[in-house]
Amino acid sequence: MNDTIFVALSTFAAEDRRPLDLLESSGFPFRIHQTGKRITREELIRDGRDAKVIIAGVEPYDSLTLAQLPSLRCISRCGVGVDAIDLHEARKKGITVANTPGIPTEAVAELALSMILSLSRDLIRQTNLMRARKWERITGHLLEGRSVGIVGFGSIGKRVAQLCQAFNANVLGYDPFLSGSTAQSMGVRLVDMKELLQESDIVSLHASKNSEQPLKLGPSEFASMKRGAIVINLARGEMIDESALVDALKSGHIAGAGLDVFPQEPYAGPLCDFEQVILTPHSATLTVETRASMELLCVKNAIGFLQGKLTIDDEKRVI
Catalytic residue annotation: 236, 265, 282
User: E strands along the chain, which residues?
Assistant: 5-7, 30-32, 53-56, 74-77, 96-98, 147-151, 170-174, 189-190, 202-205, 229-233, 254-259, 277-279
C-alpha span between 20 and 31 (Å, rounded): 11
C-alpha span between 235 and 83 (Å, rounded): 11
Instruction: Specify the amino acid at residue 274.
Output: F
Q: Could you give the strand order of the β-sheet that contains 254-259, starting from the edge strand earlier in sequence? A: 189-190, 170-174, 147-151, 202-205, 229-233, 254-259, 277-279
Instruction: Specify the amino acid at residue 151.
Output: V
Q: Please confirm whether the linkage preceding 101 is cis (ω < 30° from 0).
A: no
C-alpha span between 156 and 170 (Å, rounded): 17
Residue 81 near residue 59, CB atoms below 8 Å: no
Backbone region of residue 274 per phi and psi (left: phi > 0; alpha: psi in -120 to 50; beta: other values): beta
Residues 6+ apart with CB under 8 A from 249: 256, 257, 271, 274, 276, 277
